[in-house]
Structure 1
Amino acid sequence: MSAREIVEEPCVLRQQHQHDDRHCRCYKGGADRTLLDNIEPVSLQKETYYSRVTNEYTKQRQVRAASRPIKKGFQVLRQETLASGKLYRDPDFPPNDYSINFSGITRRTYEWKRPLEMVQNPQFFIDGATRFDIQQGELGDCWLLAAVSNLTLHPHLFHVVVPRDQGFTHLYAGIFHFKFWQYGRWQEVVIDDLLPTHNGRLVFMHSRNSSEFWCALLEKAYAKLYGGYEALRGGNINESMVDLTGGVVELIDLRSPASNLFPRLLKACRRGSLIGCAIESDHLGVRPESIMSNGLIVRHAYSITRVTAISLATAPKLKGEAHLVRLHNPWGNETEWKGSWSDKSPEWNAVPPGERQRLGLTFNDDGEFWMSYQDFLKNFTTVEICDVNPDFCDEENGNGGGVPEDVERGWKVTMYEGAWVANHTAGGCRNYINTFARNPQYTIELMDPDEEDDDDFCTVIVSLMQKNVRQLKRYGVDYVPIGFTLYKLPPGRQPGMKLDVDFFRYNASCAKVPYFLNTREVTTRFRMPAGHYVIIPSTFEPEMTGEFLLRVFTEIRQ
């Protein structure tokens, strides 16, 4: 009797919107502006163009890497600049319109100035770095600012990205450096301190105090990393959270939340995770450019800065315990939630003084506000939790200033680099069974059951990331839909042997992503029995090409 071919549920494609608020009416000093949706339907024409551009980009990158001299680090460049008696000028990111706009054509004239030309006493930090320093400028990069805002809550992480060994006093030479995680490695980005201004004011991200410059310089370094300020226009907070930590982000759909989500958010805060959230534009029937009557903004990245349960005093309507979420709007102004538990709302009268003191409760027009967990679920549609890579601090910065003992860490991380190559390894998803076996295949072994459970299941997080796409925005290239599928190796199958098309015809997958998404990274958590598995990373359709990084996180006993 012949084997019966497996009929699987088809893989599902879903479009992911970017957070792009560069035209929001609420920006101080900005004209009436409109939120834009930059996601286009995927087409064969775009796939072909993407393949051509990425292949050419890879060749150019290899030629440049082979021909250029070894790059000097920040310390060497600063010493050379000090010896020259001149201030540093970055030859790779010059102060011109091409560094702002891909076309080199701008609507206004920008004047690039150093902080010393703008204020009498510039400082890198004033009383340290806090989320309240951050002010968004005219660039639609709230997805970056929300992550930076969250990062300031974790000094041991923040000062890996923003090193302390720089400023405007001792050894000042007009040169600064920052570090960003890029596809498995920490990359140093060196810049000069020439910043774009208009009418004497900083145009993009800046600090609330005009004499503080860490915000503006961090954004400039991030813009250089991706090829210009315009490359930062529109994105998802999961990108920036990963670039700032090397962690892995899990996307949670709040329209069907798990019953244990609140305890999970509490645990994420305790273990030092970064958390962001957003409201999709199709939610509640509002337009993308709208600021809702309750003060919340659609398609805008917020950071979650605290999750807590508080005790309440005896009150007619409020008794026992309240579950609360504190959020921060990177605009840093009065655009805040107006409902229950908002600034100065009557609900706070039921909170005992001791609890108010524990929360450090203040009410200012600074973009930060509280909501009840129930209202949070009713209004927000997605939350993204970035669990920090356990190797984060040890890899690049000694011990990164020391990881606090109360931050739980228990992940083993394995990374694989690969590529989808047309007519070779770009087979598309399982819907395209005849070409699916072409895709790269990676064997993993799960062998360490979770300690707290009585069963033999293991927790594994699989994360698939497209490489070097944001750098190609100047060519009109965007993220293609990606995902992955897992198969359990049957007894007798040797791990490491490539599976052929017949295997996939007659064997069902044991897990896969809920959707193929056109984002840089897709991540899913699974509970699996111990054993050997094969992970198949793929694009949604065949012949869509590009490089990728696959990371597999397995929980280990402490």
Structure 2
Amino acid sequence: MSTVCSTIKSQEDGLPKECEEWVQLFLKNFGPDEVFYDAEFDFSNGKQGNIGDCWLIAPLMTIARRQKLLEWIIPPTDYSLKHGIFLVRRFFNGEWQIVVVDGHLPLNEKGFAQFAYTFYDRLWPCLIEKAVAKMLGGYHKLNGGNPISAFKYLTGSSCLRITLNKDTDLDMLWTKLKEYQSCGFLMTLSSPEKYEDFLKKGLANNHVYSLLDTCIHEGHRLVLIGATNDTKWKGK
């Protein structure tokens, strides 16, 4: 397992002008439940912030439901909290690598995390996002991507992609979704780039959603999705 120790410099990273400052986490006296895995965390609360990396954050929110997997990716250590140095594992070029990231994160003019964030100030999404940004060459490289790549980076596993069209057998699709869920597979959903009907129903075009659950309610097949943006499904 190799170790990567590179640096992200704000002036060279294509960051938005809204980034007012970088803050060092350990100076803020965050506790372990705020930085690392928290069993009470609501996985629908992960947001992508001011950058188009739903392809990364949506898979991350599904992965975060697995405590052991998340703690493999970002091991919780007292050393990290004390010194503001964090280790993040990623799978790249056929091997697991350890990325060393510090606790400096870009903030916007309101003092909130500029990119990945949660409503309850959990910081592990920011740190994992920063590690992937380092791998790709900067935060600006996170704009647009494929959730299959994100799953590969974070789990090392191969993915199956199912493309839907007008000829898709919906009964078979539902059976497969239930089967994948029962097997514990991690899943996301992607919307097309241009589809007006999605917007009418409160869903974003060209966006990735985490698939959190499936059920049948009053005869309707439903999937519970986690949105990393601010859109809300209107229930139609």
User: TM exceeds 0.5?
Assistant: yes
Asked whether the 8 Å contact 1:130–1:152 carries over to 2, the reply is no
Q: Is it true that 1:96 corresponds to 2:10 in the alignment?
A: yes
Match of 1:326 in 2: 224
Give the one of 278, 302, 307 matched to 2:209: 302
Deviation digits for residues 170-195 of structure 1, max 9, x if unmatched? xx211001111113211111111111
User: What is the alpha-carbon distance in structure 2 between the residues aligned to residue 282 and residue 214 of structure 1?
Assistant: 32
Name which of 105, 109, 115 aligns with 1:204.
Answer: 115
SS in 2 for 1:242: helix
> 1:146 is paired with a residue of what secondary structure?
helix
Q: Which has the higher helix share?
A: 2
Query: 1:244: Cα distance to partner?
Result: 1.4
SS in 1 for 2:71: helix
Could you tell me which residue of structure 2 aligns to residue 337 of structure 1?
A: 233
Distance 1:189 1:244, change over 3 A: same
Q: Give the match for residue 165 of structure 1.
A: 77
Tell whether the 8 Å contact from 2:8 to 2:138 is kept in structure 1 after alignment.
no
Q: State the Cα distance separating 1:155 from its structure 2 match.
A: 2.2
Q: In structure 2, what is the Cα distance between the partners aligned to 1:251 and 1:121?
A: 39
Deviation of residue 245 (structure 1)?
1.4
Kept after mapping to 2: 8 A contact 1:206/1:215: yes
Distance 1:180 1:302 in 2: 21
48, 70, 84: which one aligns with 1:174: 84
Deviation string 1:442-485 (CA, Å, 9 cap, x unpaired) is xxxxxxxxxxxxxxxxxxxxxxxxxxxxxxxxxxxxxxxxxxxx
Give the SS at the match of 1:145.
helix
Letter in 2 for 1:337: W
What is the TM-score of this pair, normalised by structure 2?
A: 0.85
Question: Greater CA radius of gyration, 1 or 2?
Answer: 1
Residue identity (%): 27
Q: Secondary structure at the match of 1:323?
A: strand
Q: Deviations over 1:234-259 (max 9, x none)?
A: 11211112211122222212213234
Name the aligned partner's letter for residue 249 of structure 1: C
Cα displacement (A) at 1:143: 0.7
Deviation at 1:164, TM superposition (A): 2.5
Consecutive unaligned residues of structure 1, counting only runs of 5 or more, are 1-69, 74-89, 311-317, 341-558
Alignment partner for residue 195 of structure 1, among 102, 105, 116? Answer: 105
Q: Name the CA shift for 1:324/1:198 in 2 (closer, same or farther; >3 Å).
A: closer
Aligned AA (2:85): I
Where does 1:63-142 land on structure 2 (aligned, <5 Å)? 92-98=6-12, 100-101=13-14, 107-108=17-18, 110-117=20-27, 119-122=28-31, 123-125=34-36, 127-128=38-39, 129-142=41-54
Whole-angstrom distance in 2 between the partners of 1:263 and 1:107 = 47
Distance 1:325 1:219 in 2: 26
Q: Decide whether the 8 Å contact of 2:37 with 2:70 is kept in 1.
A: no
Q: Which has the higher contact order (CA 8 A, sep 6+)?
A: 2
> How far apart are residue 167 of structure 1 and its match?
6.6
The secondary structure found in structure 2 opposite 1:107 is coil
Contact 2:62-2:210 at 8 Å conserved across structures: yes
Letter in 1 for 2:10: N
Note if contact 2:23-2:105 (Cα within 8 Å) is conserved in structure 1.
yes
Instruction: Please state if 1:146 is matched with 2:53.
Output: no
Correspondence for 1:272: 184
* Aligned partners of 2:3 and 2:100 also within 8 Å: no
* Separation of aligned partners in 2, 1:262 and 1:108: 43
Give how far 1:158 is off: 2.1
Cα distance in 1 between the residues matched to 2:49 and 2:141: 15
Amino acid at match of 1:181: F
Q: Does 1:244 align with 2:154?
A: yes
> Aligned equivalents of 1:106 and 1:299: distance in 2?
21
> In the superposition, relative to structure 1, how do residues 72 and 237 fare at CA in structure 2: closer, same or farther (>3 Å)?
closer
CA deviation after TM superposition for structure 1 residue 294, in Å? 1.2
Matches within 5 A, 1:529-548: none
Q: Is the 8 A contact 1:95 1:112 kept in 2?
A: no
Corresponding residue SS for 2:162: strand
* Contact 2:25-2:84 within 8 A present in 1 as well: no
Question: What do you get for the CA RMSD once the two structures are aligned?
Answer: 2.7
State how far apart, in whole Å, the 2-side matches of 1:182 and 1:192 are.
20
Q: CA deviation at 1:302?
A: 0.7
TM-score w.r.t. the length of structure 1 is 0.38
Q: Answer yes or no: is the 8 Å Cα contact 1:97–1:106 preserved in 2.
A: no
1:166–1:183 CA distance, 2 compared to 1 (3 A): farther
Displacement, 1:71? Answer: 6.8
Contact 2:44 2:227 in 1 (8 A): no
Note closer, same or farther for the CA distance 1:281–1:133 as it changes in structure 2 (3 Å cut): closer
3-state SS of paired residue (1:137): coil
Question: Separation in 2 of the partners of 1:184 and 1:270?
Answer: 28
Which of 93, 105, 122 is the equivalent residue of 1:183? 93
Q: Give yes or no for the alignment of 1:225 onto 2:135.
A: yes
Q: Matches of residues 340-355 of structure 1 in structure 2 within 5 Å?
A: 340=236
Q: How does 1:459-538 map to 2 (within 5 A)?
A: none
Residues 165 and 295 of structure 1, relative CA distance in 2, 3 Å threshold: same
